[in-house]
Amino acid sequence: MTNKIELRVERRLAFADGQEFGAAGAYERLSGKALFAVDPGAPAQAGITDLDKAPRDPDGLVRSSADFSLLAPVARARGNGRVFFDYGNRGNIRCLQFFNDAPGSNDPRSAAHGGNGFLMRRGYAVAWLGWQADLLPGDDRFLLDVPVAMEGGRPVSGQVRVEYIADRPGIGVFPLSSRASTRSHPAVSLDTRRASLTMRRYATDPRIPVPHDQWMFARVEGGTGLDNQGGERGVVPSDQHIHLPAGFRPGWIYELVYEGHSPLVLGLGHVAVRDFIAFLKHGARDDAGTPNPLREGGGRVEKAYAWGRSQTGRLIRDALHRGFNADAQGRRVFDGVLPHVSGAGLMWMNHRFANVIVAAGQEHEDHFNPADRFPFTYGESEDHFTGRRDAILKRPATDPLVLHTQTSTEYWQRRGSLVHTDTRGRDVELPANVRAYLWSSSQHFADPRLGRPGRGICRNEINVVWTSMFFRAMLDALDAWATHGTEPPASRVPRRADGTLVPFEEWKRQFPAIPGVPVPRGPSALPRLDWGPDAERGVLREPPQVLPGEGYPVLVPAVDDDGNDVAGVRAPMVEAPLATYTGWNLRARGQGEGAMHEFTGSTLPFPETPEHRAQLGDPRRSVRERHADAGSYARAIEAAARALVAQRLMLEEDVPRCVAAAANWHAPRHDVTID
């Protein structure tokens, strides 16, 4: 038996109001359903957890379906012959937002959604596909539908563990999955005595049991009462919700372990992406006889590239490690990949009862998570704790070119140093087909269209460093590498050898003593976790056992006198700073105070004048000591931008954008008032 695919195009519409994008001309968007059928016994699907427990059709195949969309030149022959696959993030498509500086949308169609037109001006066919099967419909998310694992005619059951952290008072109900957008694994029993709920202030604190009679499997419904009695509430038993009548304390970590049922065969997400891209690259017609929509009118597909950020950066690394960059015929799927802000993680998806939407472990949130596991780096290395040797890239015939990019946040919250060190924290050389870059002093999510920054539940304003110009340069570099063999710029990451990658205690000695600014306790070593004897086949013991002794060392970038990262690729805003920009931010009082918050960085403004500096007792030079006026600042930004262009780390077209944004001290990202 062979795998099958059918693409059903259900809608075509003009993109960007028919706007012409240079030589590629006008674009259109096609949307519909991709239908998949795979042989569960074939080597191409080996290792998919519970695939052997999925229902089969009369031909013995396992079926699934996904939302897909294609953005392509109306005149296909005017394209560049390349498919750019955006993995999306939790069902939300992102590439137009970050490569084109466009507004985020899961239904892009207007001229505004075209942004600066970068991907279209280059002639790319952009592809999206639902790959995450535990999402619920809503907000135009891209969905994947896969079967439930069955055994003996009944859905499989087993242990499920979920964490909940409320970000405000008054929250008394969560979906069991913890997220409204995500399917919950239903509880086998509503008897709370058969489950365990604990609470703790910080991730490594002892767990405090919540008595069984103080919570329930239930949801709360509200409405308007009769006879002028005002609002009323109803508590409804639910096998997919947890209810704490007293409310969840903001910032505290609540952990539920219960018996759930009906796990999805989530690993089919890897297979769906593989087979979809393989068909777009090589297929003339699908298994229903429908022509490949990218080959219409003389269209061609010569190369395929993938980009994913955060969750989907990990997904790319996981797919490579598991061998899913080879299609069912053994051909390379993606010629090049761009995993962004994945840190050193893989994916928590190909496991029974996985909750794919959960972020990989941070200091406070989801600290004990199976996503961060050996191997961490791309080339072969040894886990010195176990003696095991492994690599993310280990199939030269089908491994792609890799440009791995990460921000300062990944070193603090996502164990990013392990991407380019061994398990003892020593520098390693990356394979010849890999480059890695730190985008210095920037944060995990850098909104290209950020307005005035806020704080949320953090102590400091969020990090405002603008980095989207780097995405554009990276894609051009990847295409030149894959097409012409033109080597991209050398890796730019901090290293132990030159003192730019340091233990936390050394960083703490380097960081300036900014008045009123506490610093983190530091990224702790990555704990070694024992997930039980069946972990290799995707069945985890919950909660895991924390193994004694030290974990894997996590190191951070060294900083200069301003507190900004020394190594890496420094965006113009970092090379000509108006603040200390960090990859970390701390939770505010009442929100897990002092722990680092998720993926949020900080902006710590410089004092504006020497007098202001003296009044504050700030060791950092003031803005006035750096720049005579706003024009001087804009010229410094231009010089920094042109230096990056010379290094092939930024495109010439982005220089005027940087200069224009720098006018008036880069307001509203900065609030400087000295002119």
Q: Determine, yes or no, domain membership for 427.
A: no
pLDDT tens track for 421-433: 999 999 999 999 9
The per-residue DSSP string of 195-246 comes to: SEEEEESSTTSPPEEPPGGG-BSEEEEEEEPSTT--EEEEEEE-TTEEE-TT
Two structure tokens written together for 267: 């690993």
Question: Which residue do the tokens 């949320």 mark?
Answer: 456
Query: How many structural domains are present in the chain?
Result: 1
* Neighbouring C-beta atoms of residue 242, cutoff 10 Å: 27
The pairing of strands 303-309 and 253-261 is: unpaired
Rounded distance, CA 174 to CA 468, Å?
Answer: 35
* Range(s) of the domain holding residue 249: 157-261
User: How many residues comprise the chain?
Assistant: 675
Q: Would you call 538 helix, strand, or coil by DSSP? A: coil
- List the Cα angle 154/351/85 in 5-degree steps: 115
Does a structural domain hold residue 203? yes
Q: What is the DSSP string of 474-529?
A: HHHHHHHHHHH-PPPPPPB---TTTT-EE-HHHHHHHS---TT------PPPBPPE
Question: Rounded to an integer, what distance in angstroms lies between the CA atom of residue 364 and that of residue 413?
Answer: 9
**Beta carbons of 531 and 544 less than 8 angstroms apart:** yes
Which whole-number Å values give the CA distances from 199 to 196, 205, 348, in the listed order?
10, 9, 23
Residues of the chain falling short of pLDDT 50:
none
Residue 391 covered by a domain? no
Return the pLDDT at 2: 84
Q: How far, CA to CA in Å, does 631 sit from each of 435, 545, 636, 637, 672?
A: 36, 58, 9, 10, 13
- pLDDT for 675 equals 73
Q: Which tokens go with 150?
A: 């069955």
Quick check: is 456 in a domain?
no
Please state, in angstroms and rounded to a whole number, the distance separating the CA atoms of residues 175 and 170: 15
Residue 542 resides in a domain? no
Cβ-proximal residues to 5 (8 Å cutoff; 6+ apart), any chain: 34, 35, 36, 37, 275, 276, 279, 283, 286, 287
| 236 alpha carbon, distance to own chain's centre | 35
| Residue 228 placed within a domain | yes
**257 lies in some domain:** yes
Query: What's the pLDDT at 557?
Result: 98
| 175, 184 contact by CB (below 8 A) | yes
Q: Tell me the Cα Rg of the chain.
A: 25
Burial of 142 (0-12, 13-18, 19+ CB in 10 A): buried
Q: Say if residue 440 is exposed, middle or buried (CB neighbours under 10 Å; 0-12, 13-18, 19+).
A: buried
Q: Is there a domain that residue 166 lies in?
A: yes
Q: pTM of the full predicted structure? A: 0.97
pLDDT for position 1: 66
CA atoms within 13 A on the CB side of 106: 17
Question: What crossing angle do the helices spanning 311-322 and 268-282 adopt, rounded to 10°?
Answer: 80
